[in-house]
């Protein structure tokens, strides 16, 4: 058995398939603006940089731009609606719970590092009965910086009681690969998440296509 590591997870598109509820909230806001809905399939890759960016991308898909004050209002409307419907359809990816159970049994720490707001992240994980599994849940507003700024990763690991030199990032997009590279830690990419650039093109240290493959990928990095 290897020494304890801290496994740091992205949230949307990595731990949980949140696309159904996020896109429903986006389309709620677009409908209020008199715009047509964004199809679920094409909207999945708009997710990953926070609520405001998701709305911007949704507007861009319709060839629209709005003033900052209107964007502020739309973002507030989005968050209010999304918070009330945060786990209507969102579910952990298949195989996740077994992987987390195995890591916990091996003595490894688990943490969440996301560009979602912290309180929304905790609400989602609470409703899915996942919060208790993580030593730290940190979001875009926790430390005042977002991924790929390495500060959010380092502070998340510290809050979880771990050490950066014994940590691994797990994520689905460029911000996750970027934060790992800047923090000087290995990264496991998941191919089933949300990204406008295929995760394989970003050259993560390991690439998995199902959560059942995560323990083996992490172990190979721990023992490399």
Q: What residues are annotated to the active site?
A: 10
- Among residues 204, 196, 197, 222, which one has the least CA distance to residue 6? 222
Burial of 149 (0-12, 13-18, 19+ CB in 10 A): middle
Pairing of strands 187-190, 167-171: parallel
- Among residues 205, 210, 200, 199, which one has the least CA distance to residue 220? 205
DSSP codes, 184-220: T--EEEETTS--SS-GGGG--SEEESSGGGHHHHHHH
Q: 149 among the known binding-site residues? A: no
Q: 12 among the known binding-site residues? A: yes
Instruction: List binding-site positions for Mg(2+).
Output: 10, 12, 172
As annotated, the binding site includes 10, 12, 172
């Amino acid at each position: 058995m290897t020494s304890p590591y801290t496994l740091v997870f992205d949230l949307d598109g990595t731990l949980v398939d949140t696309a159904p509820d996020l896109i429903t909230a986006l389309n709620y806001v677009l409908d209020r603006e008199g715009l047509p809905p964004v199809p679920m399939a094409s909207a999945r890759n708009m997710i990953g940089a926070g609520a405001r960016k998701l709305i911007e991308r949704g507007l861009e898909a319709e060839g629209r731009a709005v003033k900052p004050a209107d964007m502020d209002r739309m973002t507030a409307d989005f968050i209010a609606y999304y918070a009330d419907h945060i786990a209507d359809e969102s579910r952990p990816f298949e195989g996740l719970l077994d992987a987390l159970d195995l890591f916990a049994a091996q003595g490894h720490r688990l943490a969440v590092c996301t560009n979602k707001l912290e309180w929304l992240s905790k609400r989602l994980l609470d409703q899915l009965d996942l919060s208790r599994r993580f030593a730290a849940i940190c979001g875009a507003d926790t430390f005042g910086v977002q991924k790929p700024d390495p500060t959010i990763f380092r502070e998340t690991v510290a809050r979880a009681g771990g050490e950066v030199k014994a940590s691994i990032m797990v994520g689905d997009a460029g911000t996750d690969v970027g934060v790992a590279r800047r923090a000087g830690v290995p990264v496991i990419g998941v191919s089933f998440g949300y990204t406008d650039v295929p995760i394989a093109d970003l050259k993560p240290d390991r690439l998995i296509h199902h959560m059942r493959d995560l323990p083996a990928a992490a172990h190979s990095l721990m023992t490399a």
